[in-house]
Amino acid sequence: MRIGVSLPVRELQDDVGAIKAFAQAAEGLGLTHLRVPEQIIRPESGPLHEPLTMMALIAGATERIELVPSVIVLPARQTVLLAKQAATIDRLSGGRLRLGIGVGKEPTEFAAQGMDFEGRGTRSEEQMVLLRRLWCEAQVNFEGRWDKVVGAGINPLPIQQPIPLWIGASGPPAPHIRRRIGRFADGWFVLCGPEVFPEVRDGIATAAAAAGRDAALIGAEAGVAVVGPREHEWRERVAEWREIGLSHLCLRTLGGGLAPGQHVGRLERAVADLPRT
């Protein structure tokens, strides 16, 4: 099981030095990936930078750790522009991008970006197809319901061809989202408990088989808070997810009221205390 950590951007309070130091500390501790949250425009909830721009900074400050926005609201974005941005991050980082995507749930966010809120799920599926083609083909001819590309492509292509696409959804994914994951995704972010996970996993596997895909190649990543109300049980939860056979896990130091300078120390203690078997 690959173990990473969420970047506590809001709680680092727009301190760019602290953001870089946290990313470098996570890499130095041997954590495999760094998850970066998404926000473009929403009611005030603390400073949160645009994740792809943030990852350009982090790519230059690190060497090995995987960079994971979780999640980009895909249908609120221009597909070709996102393909170019992601390809650039992948090249700048030496092939370390794993792109988390979702469909969003805030109509005002779509309106502010000039995008249609209705039909966003279907559009995201079309976008996933086009993104992969843009990342793998020098010249693309594509005509969909929302996007059209004629005899053009992005240059340079990303190192990873294609960049992995992981789907996130609020809570246990509904049947249509399980189908989407099974048909299109390289993995998914688990926002349900271990007791619900097997049912969801089986639904995804059924959808993957129907699409002629190997469900064993679809990863899954849950999160475990090492601070806050459930701090006392975090080791048991890590062990439980490992026993279930999860491919990825994300530790969280956010949500426990830590000061900006306390996050790295808490992460160091958590890594030292990780269950090894």
**Phi and psi for 148 in degrees, rounded to 5?**
-140, 125
| Per-residue pLDDT at 40 | 85
CA distance 48 to 40: 8
Contacts of 129 (CB under 8 A, 6+ apart): 142, 144, 184
* pLDDT above 80 for 46: no
Contacts of 127 (CB under 8 A, 6+ apart): 74, 75, 79, 82, 146, 147
Q: What is the pLDDT of residues 123-169, one digit of tens each?
A: 999 999 999 999 999 999 999 999 999 999 999 999 999 999 999 98
pLDDT band of residue 277 (cuts 50, 70, 90) is low
Per-residue pLDDT, averaged over 55-84, amounts to 97
* pLDDT above 70 for 217: yes
| Per-residue pLDDT at 153 | 98
Contacts of 130 (CB under 8 A, 6+ apart): 79, 80, 83, 140, 142, 144, 147, 149
Across 27-63, b (16+ Cβ under 10 Å) vs e yields bebebbbbbbbbbbeeeeeeebbebbebbbebbeebe
pTM of the model: 0.96
Q: Which two tokens stand for residue 182?
A: 């099974």
Residue 198: count of CB within 10 angstroms of its CB? 10
Contacts of 195 (CB under 8 A, 6+ apart): none
Per-residue pLDDT, averaged over 72-94, amounts to 97
* Secondary structure of residue 71 in the 3-state scheme: coil
* pLDDT above 90 for 183: yes
| Per-residue pLDDT at 171 | 80
Q: Whole-number mean pLDDT of the chain?
A: 95
Indicate the length of the chain as a whole number.
277
Q: What is the pLDDT of residues 236-272, one digit of tens each?
A: 999 999 999 999 999 999 999 999 999 999 999 999 9
| Per-residue pLDDT at 222 | 97
Q: Which two tokens stand for residue 123?
A: 């559009």
